[in-house]
Amino acid sequence: MNRLPYLKVIPIVVVMAVCLVGTQSIAGEEVCTSKGQIETIDCACNTVAVEVLLGNTYFTITGPLCRGIVLERKGQPAALADFSVGEQVTVQWRHTNKGDIIETLAVR
């Protein structure tokens, strides 16, 4: 019995499996929301760091602002420059394999 045709199919199946798993992990990225305090703001690089309490541990979310981010101050649209270090905010972020991406930053 010639097994050569089956050996040619194995790499194709492996590539398809890797693509499928990669797609699921991207689609499965969880968006998290928490309240915290702004630690740093870099308007030139469009990044922010927010310290939040997750469970019993403080955690710093640091990352770029995503395209189409929602920036709000008391229900009104805002710019990143309108925020200040030390301010209490609600932050919504998504953790990716490349790091955190900030999706919402709001002062209520």
pLDDT in tens, 19-33: 333 333 344 578 999
User: Distance between CA atoms of 24 and 9, rounded to whole angstroms?
Assistant: 23
* CA pair distance 44, 39, nearest whole angstrom: 16
For the chain, 108 residues long, the average pLDDT of each consecutive 10-residue run is: 52 40 49 96 96 92 94 95 97 92 94
CATH class of 31-107: mainly beta
pTM across the whole model: 0.71
Q: Can you give the pLDDT at residue 76? A: 95
